[in-house]
Amino acid sequence: MKLPTLLLAAALFAAPAMAFADGPKIGPNGGARADAGPYHVEVVLKGNDVVLYVTDAADKPVDVAGAKAEATILANKQTQKVALEPAGGNTLKGQANLGGAHDSVKVVTALTMPGQKPVQARLDMGHAGH
């Protein structure tokens, strides 16, 4: 690999690490938190339960009645998609098959609020034991 290509590759790999240099964002429910369009989303994994909390830019709960969401979970090099259904207030829930402890868990959420375009968030859940 030529030096300019190697430098470009190193810069691209370092950029995400620098963006998260202050560590993962933790939401008020103890889960990983990220921006998803105009919303903040927080993902909490409890056993096999996948819980998605939605707030606005001012961290006020957003009613998710009529919303659709999906979580794509990558754990131990296996991917699974989980449909998330409104569960009251600003919460959507679904069931995954997470099994035991994981080296790392990454989640990509796709949220579609009624009458709006879908928005996504990528979250690094770190190490998870279930």
Q: Which pLDDT value is given to residue 7?
A: 43
Cα(123)–Cα(117) distance, rounded to whole angstroms?
Answer: 20
- Each of the 130 residues of the chain gets a pLDDT tens digit; together they read 554 444 444 444 444 444 444 445 899 999 999 999 999 999 999 888 999 999 999 999 999 999 999 999 998 788 999 999 999 999 999 999 877 666 789 999 999 999 999 999 999 987 654 4
What is the pTM for the complete model shown?
Answer: 0.78
Q: Half-sphere exposure of residue 59, counting CA atoms within 13 Å on the CB side?
A: 6
What domains, with CATH codes, occur in the chain? 31-128 (2.60.40.2480)
